[in-house]
Structure 1
Amino acid sequence: MFDFLALITNKKYWLLHSLIMKFILRLYGIQVGSDFYMEGIPLLKIRGKGSNIVIGNNVSILGGIDLRNRENGKIVFKDNVTIEGNCRFVSAREGTIAVGEGSIVTSFAIINGGADLIIGRQCIIGPRTSLNANEHVFKRDTPVREAGFVHEPIYIEDDCWLAANVTVMKGVTLAKGSIVGAGAVVTKDTEPYSVNVGIPAKKVSERK
């Protein structure tokens, strides 16, 4: 229905829609800045404080989005961030998920906190990327679903590009300017301006 309205109004409907979504988000206590734009409907599972979700100025959300927090988990989209459709953000415990200024998170990305998960400025997070600042405990005598988690932060520094279907494991830092090729699994820190591919990801070259 919303897509149809957008189609027949040459996308002008989304401007009204964005105002309505901004009002609704604020009803949940979510902080929303100026020039907010949204296509689609948010799925909200706010089990912590709504005020721990902060959307900066000139943020565009280009489709449905899944926002979840619990305990004291925080989610922050800084100014000029773009989030494409069907992305999921889950922040828990004392962790903060932050997307830096001018960065884009593309379709179907899954970003799971529990510890800090910080994305720098002007980054590209490719489609179906999985960033996990946590990992299931797996003990033989306990079902995995009941064994709990271990948590370590992920830091993605400025000007990084993660191509499609990348997985970044807990405890990893992607140094400034790093590129990670499609389908890679990153299990250890990268070097500045390095190009990394494979499972596990290894440096194959540098940006020129």
Structure 2
Amino acid sequence: MLIAAVGFYLWNAQQTEAEAQEHLGQIERVYAAGNYEQALQGTESQMGLLEIADTYSGTNAGNLATFYVANAYLRNDMPDEALTYLQRFDKDQDLVGASALAAEASILEDRGEFSEAADLYEQAASYVESASLSPRYLINAGRAYESAGNLDAAQRVYTEIQETYADAPESEEVQRHLARVNAKRAQSTS
């Protein structure tokens, strides 16, 4: 009996994923064309990203629709709505997960939530460990840490760029950032 129940569950999950993929495939063309509002809401014949994200939230396609919803809201200059969906998005440790974390961090930084933003930027850097993206995320983390007044953390991430990504273009900026952190330290002790 248990084997039959597990088999039915797996079959049902596959069917649900296939349905979600089909709906997402139809609306992705609208999304890719930059018609974000229509992609969010759908059409008479196509389920929109919002409905796909909600209806199929337990599927990979539903999760990807959640990411697309967040991005569409960002493109429509609706950061609060985007943040809601970025936080719902189940992030893998890959390029998409890193970009979702960085987008979330950017929104929080704009809101003045600098410590939280810095933590997310650092997490994004660790998700991809890319010589092209990680240093940029770490620069952003350092800037946010500085804004939060956490000079030790800012120095730590700037130094990490210097030591780990010495060949990255951002490493050329690091000396300037470290000098600014040291000047802020000196200013706070005088």
Same fold (TM over 0.5): no
TM-score (norm 1): 0.29
| TM-score, normalised relative to structure 2 | 0.31
Higher radius of gyration, 1 or 2: 2
Question: Quick check: which one's helix share is greater?
Answer: 2
